Structure 1
Amino acid sequence: MDVKAFINQVVEAIKRVPLRCALAAVSGGVDSTTSAVLARLALGDRLRAVFMDTGFMRINEPQSVRDALRDLLPLEIIDLSNEFYSSMMGLADAEEKRLRFRETFYNALSRIARDYGCDYLVQGTIAPDWIETKGGIKTQHNVLEQLGIDTASKYGFKLIEPLRELYKDQVREVARELGIPSLIINRQPFPGPGLSIRAVGRLTLEKLELVRRATAIVEDELSGMGLSQWFAAAWEDDSSFNDDLSRAIRNYGDLEVELFRVRATGVKGDSREYGGIALVRGHVKSWELIYELYDAITTRSNVTHVIYELTRRGRGGYFVSIRAVETQDFMTAEVPRLGRELLMGVAQKLMRYDEVSAVGFDVTPKPPATIEYE
C-alpha cells in the first residue's frame, strides 16, 4: 500500500463531504485515533473529538489517552458510566451485551452530535470488524451501514469510515506516517464494549472491578514481549467434571477436564460458536503439551476455549483467565509459548485479590476460539 497516496486520497475525499461539523468518537486505539486525525487534517476545527468514558475502561485510561494526544488532537472526555451501567448491569449473554452496548453507545453519540450541531460521525471501523459482524461471529459495535442500518434516520448523522477496507497492520502504517504517538500505535487493541465482555457471564460491578484490577497486572507483567494482545478475563468459578473430555487427554499427563457453567464465543468454519469453556487441571508430562490440549478437546465437543489451570485455593469465588495472542491481522491468532515460571508469577500476583479462587492460562488459538471471550 502506498501510505502517502492513501492519506492524500482520504483527506481529499473528506474535504468534499458537504458537512457542517463532524464528531469523532476516539477510544485511544489506533483505529479510531487514526480516523480522527485524518478527518482533522481535512476539516480542522469542524471536527469535534470526544472520548466517551463508558465505565468499562482500564484504570486511568481516559486521562492517559487525552494526555497522549494532547499535541495532535484536542480531546474532550465525557463521563457516561452511569448511563452504561444502568443499561447493561445484569446482562449475561455475550451477544446481548454487545447489542445493548451498541444501542447505548450510539444513542449517546446521537445526543452529543445533536448538541454540537454535527451531522457526520467519524469512526475507526476496519475490515475485520464488519467481516466478523456480517459473518455472524460476533457483533462489533461500530458496524452499522454494512448491516443496512440507516444512521441518518436512526441517529441523525451520516458516517465517515476512512479505514473500513484496511487491516490492523495497514492502519498502523498510516498512523506512523501521520505522526501518531507510538504509545497509541502500539497500544494493544481494546474491544469497543471494553471490560464488560471480559467480565464473562452476568455483568456485575464486583466482577467488573476485579477484571479492571486483573487487567492492570496482566498488561504490566506481559508487556514488552512482542505480543499482539494480552489481558485478563474473569467469571464465576463454577464448573463440573467431564469424564469424556478427561479421557480424551489422558495421554498428556495426570489431568482432568471440567466445564465452566459460563460460555464463550468461538469460530468454527466461518460461523460463530457460543460454546463451553474447558478447564484442564493437573500435571502434564511436559510443559509444551499444554499448547496441544485445545485440539484434543475442541475437536470432540462444542468447547470454544481451553484453559490450563495454574493455581487454586479453597476460597474466593472468581476464576481469572490470562489471555495472550500473536497475530498480524486479528482474523487468526496463535498462542505464544510462554514459560511456566512467568505465568506462575503472574498468577501469584492475581491471587493477592481475595475474590480470586483460581487462575489459568488460555491455550486456544483463533480459530477455534475468538480472541475475546464474548
Structure 2
Amino acid sequence: MVDVDSFVPEAKAEIEEQVGDDNAVIALSGGVDSSTAAALAYDGIGDQLTPVYVDTGLMRKGETEQIRETFDYMDSLRIVDAKERFLDELSGITDPEEKRHAIGEQFIREFETVAREVEADYLVQGTIYPDRIESEGTIKSHHNVGGLPDVIDFEGIVEPMRDLYKDEVREVARELDLEEIISERMPFPGPGLAVRIIGEVTEEKLSVAREANHVVEEELEEYDPWQALAAVIGKATGVKGDNRVHGWVVAVRSVESRDGMTARAQEIDWETLQRIQSRITGENESVSRVVYDVTHKPPATIEYE
C-alpha cells in the first residue's frame, strides 16, 4: 500500500518539476483517478493548471452537473460540450479497439484546443498502473494510454499516479480531503458508455445505457460493489402490453475486486435482480429483457468492450 504521507508531497514536486514555469491542462472526468490527479496538480502548480472536463455525451446521468458542483472551487475549470464531435467520430465504428482509439484521439484534440487558448504545453492525466498494464499487454487499449494518437501537440504528458492501484488512489484522495462522493466513487471507464454498448454507438443506445446504468448504481449501492454497470448488448424479442417488440437486451454486471486486474461476479439476491429488471424494462419501452452476467475476470473483462 502506498505511503500517502510521502507520496503526496513527492507527486506535487514531480508535477512542479515537469511543468516548470509553463502551463498545463488536466483531463478531468469526475472519477477518482482524474479528480485525485487534478487535486494534486492544482495544489502543486495552482493557476498554471486549467482543468478541462469534456462532455463527450458518453457520460453517466447528471455527470456534468456533478462536475460543476464538485469542482467550482477551481476558478479555471473549463467545461467543453463536445457531444456532437464524439458521436460523429464514432459513427459507423463497431470494433471495440477502433472505438477506444477514436475516443482517445478526439479527447486529445479537445485538450489541444483548450491548451492553445491558455498556452499550455503539458497534459496531466490520471493514468494508473492497471491502465498501463492492460494497454501495454494485449487486453485492451485505454483511451488515455494505448488509445492516444501518434501525434500529440504537447511538450509532455504528466502522470503522477502511473504506479498506483485504484485502492491506493483512494487513499491519496482521502489524504487530499476530497469529498466522499469522489474518493469512494466506483470506477467508470474513460471511454464512458461507449464501451457498455456492443456495436455502433448511437444516441438511442446511449439513452438506454445511461438510464439503465443509473438504475443499477442506485439499486446495487447497498452491495458496495467494486463496479456495477449495465450494458446494451443487442436486441431480442419481447412482449409489452399486447404487442410483440424487438427491443434492446440489457446486461447487468456487478463485481468485487481489489485492483481491477481480476474480479469476481457478485451474488445478488433474486428480489433485487427482479427489481432492477422491472425498473429498466418499465422505465424504457425499447428494452425487452434484462440479463445478469455471472462471469468472473478472467475469463471476461469487467467492461464489455
TM-score (norm 2): 0.93
CA drift at 1:225: 1.9
1:315 maps to a residue whose letter is V
Match of 1:142 in 2: 144
1:79 maps to a residue whose letter is D
When residues 28 and 58 of structure 1 are mapped into structure 2, their CA distance, relative to the original with a 3 A threshold, is same
Match of 1:368 in 2: 299
Match of 1:208 in 2: 206
Kept in 2, the 8 Å contact 1:229–1:324? The answer is yes
2:220 maps to a residue whose letter is L
Kept in 1, the 8 Å contact 2:14–2:160? The answer is no
Q: Tell me, yes or no, if structure 1 residue 357 matches structure 2 residue 293.
A: no
Unaligned runs of at least 5 residues, structure 1? 240-310
CA drift at 1:315: 1.9
Kept in 2, the 8 Å contact 1:22–1:119? The answer is yes
Select 1:331's aligned residue among 226, 246, 261: 261
Kept in 2, the 8 Å contact 1:88–1:97? The answer is yes
Match of 2:158 in 1: 160
When residues 354 and 175 of structure 1 are mapped into structure 2, their CA distance, relative to the original with a 3 A threshold, is same
1:317 maps to a residue whose letter is G
> How far apart, CA to CA, are the structure 1 residues paired with 2:76 and 2:177?
15
Match of 1:36 in 2: 38
The DSSP-based 3-state class of the residue aligned with 2:300 is coil
Match of 2:101 in 1: 99
CA drift at 1:104: 1.0
When residues 326 and 72 of structure 1 are mapped into structure 2, their CA distance, relative to the original with a 3 A threshold, is farther
CA drift at 1:41: 1.1
CA drift at 1:163: 0.2
Match of 1:300 in 2: none
Q: Tell me, yes or no, if structure 1 residue 4 matches structure 2 residue 2.
A: no
Kept in 2, the 8 Å contact 1:98–1:141? The answer is yes
Match of 1:179 in 2: 177
Q: What are the Cα deviations for residues 43-68 of structure 1, in whole angstroms up to 9, with x where unaligned?
A: 01111111100010112201112212
2:3 maps to a residue whose letter is D
Give 1:214-233 correspondences, 5 Å limit.
214-233=212-231
CA drift at 1:20: 1.3
The DSSP-based 3-state class of the residue aligned with 1:119 is strand
Q: What are the Cα deviations for residues 282-303 of structure 1, in whole angstroms up to 9, with x where unaligned?
A: xxxxxxxxxxxxxxxxxxxxxx
> How far apart, CA to CA, are the structure 2 residues paired with 1:134 and 1:12?
27
CA drift at 1:206: 1.0
When residues 346 and 148 of structure 1 are mapped into structure 2, their CA distance, relative to the original with a 3 A threshold, is closer
Unaligned runs of at least 5 residues, structure 2? none
> How far apart, CA to CA, are the structure 1 residues paired with 2:148 and 2:280?
43
Identity %: 42
Kept in 2, the 8 Å contact 1:319–1:358? The answer is yes
Match of 1:318 in 2: 248
> How far apart, CA to CA, are the structure 2 residues paired with 1:325 and 1:10?
31
Q: What are the Cα deviations for residues 67-100 of structure 1, in whole angstroms up to 9, with x where unaligned?
A: 1233467532111111101111221111111111
Q: Paired residues, what number? A: 299
Kept in 2, the 8 Å contact 1:32–1:124? The answer is yes
TM-score (norm 1): 0.76
When residues 73 and 220 of structure 1 are mapped into structure 2, their CA distance, relative to the original with a 3 A threshold, is farther
